[in-house]
Amino acid sequence: MTTNRREVIKGLALLPALGLVPTLGGRVARAEEAGRARVTLAIHTGDGPRRLEVELAETPAERRRGLMGRDHLDAEAGMLFLYDGLQSPESGFWMYRTGIPLDIAFIDAAGRIAAIHSMSPCDGEDPSQCRAYPAGVTYRAALEVNAGYFAARGVGIGDCVSWPGAAASCAAEG
């Protein structure tokens, strides 16, 4: 979820229109999660490719929602946030009402991982209670996975990420 809190707070008022419903414990769940687009992506490491099935967050509403309200993410799954243009190093993500510890990789215009951060869940009732995680680098996409995924699989800065329809593919470079 992006750190533009005004945008997120405005978006919360639209939850019913977006197919989201409140659940017990103040969480929000998507009424039709099965309808979200999914692709298989590959992270090309020195030890070979690591494949993940990821949900796509392509629209502002999907990016605001992110993994909000989830308390489980399959081991080889994630969410890929796609943007039409480059995003500022000051922009980033936060974990408002996200119950899963996550790692996030910020992917540059060439398709390479430019930064990786770990993010802790935030169940605060007020979005301002949640820490923001700025990217610290210019990025074109971001990949959220379960905390520890990247380290356990030897994924690091400079590794290439490719997916169907990606504008740039560094996979051919090696």
Q: Percent of the chain having pLDDT more than 70? A: 76
Closest CA to 101 of 61, 67, 125: 67
DSSP structure class, residue 95: -
Confidence band (pLDDT; 50, 70, 90) for 168?
low
- Residue 20 confidence (pLDDT) above 60: no
Residue-level pLDDT at 165: 84
Between CA 162 and CA 9 the distance in angstroms is 32
Kindly list the structural domains of the chain, giving each domain's residue range(s) and its CATH number in brackets, ordered by start. Answer: 5-173 (2.60.120.1140)
pLDDT tens-digit series, residues 83-140: 999 999 999 898 999 999 999 999 999 999 999 999 999 988 888 899 999 999 999 9
pTM of the model: 0.78
Give the residue-averaged pLDDT of 145-156. Answer: 97
- Residue 6 confidence (pLDDT) above 70: no
| β-pair partners for 80 | 56, 143
The mean predicted confidence, pLDDT, of the chain is: 82
